[in-house]
Amino acid sequence: GNSVTQMEGPVTLSEEAFLTINCTYTATGYPSLFWYVQYPGEGLQLLLKATKADDKGSNKGFEATYRKETTSFHLEKGSVQVSDSAVYFCARADTGRRALTFGSGTRLQVQP
């Protein structure tokens, strides 16, 4: 079935460090891909998306590029802030079911 695999956390970085959170998906069809962020005590918020190969989604300094050849959608940010501390979820849209399949989440902790 469709699945999404994320790197395990927690990822601990110092402020202003470079961030990469890896995400790969099963290559069934051409799904839309998403990154959601969940801050402590809050619901999931859409961070960015890409709907076709080579698309780059970006928001709030975060970027991710839809790589069909490697079935990946890695999340990157050039300089993280303490306020970026949260859990990040990679997800793919299942076209037929119109539902999202999520990875297990990666906790990011940014230290001042």
| Residue 103 in the binding site for other proteins (CB under 8 A) | yes
The answer to the question of residue 99 lying near other proteins (CB under 8 A) is yes
Radius of gyration for the alpha carbons in the chain, expressed in angstroms and rounded: 13
Long-range contacts of 25-29, Cβ-Cβ distance < 8 Å, separation of 24 or more: 25/71, 25/72, 25/73, 25/90, 25/92, 26/1, 26/2, 26/71, 27/68, 27/71, 28/2, 29/95
Exactly one of 19, 47, 91, 108 binds other proteins (CB under 8 A); that residue is 91
Binding mask 48-87 for other proteins (x = CB under 8 A): -x--------------------------------------
Binding site for other proteins (CB under 8 A): 4, 32, 34, 36, 41-46, 49, 89, 91, 93, 97-100, 102-105
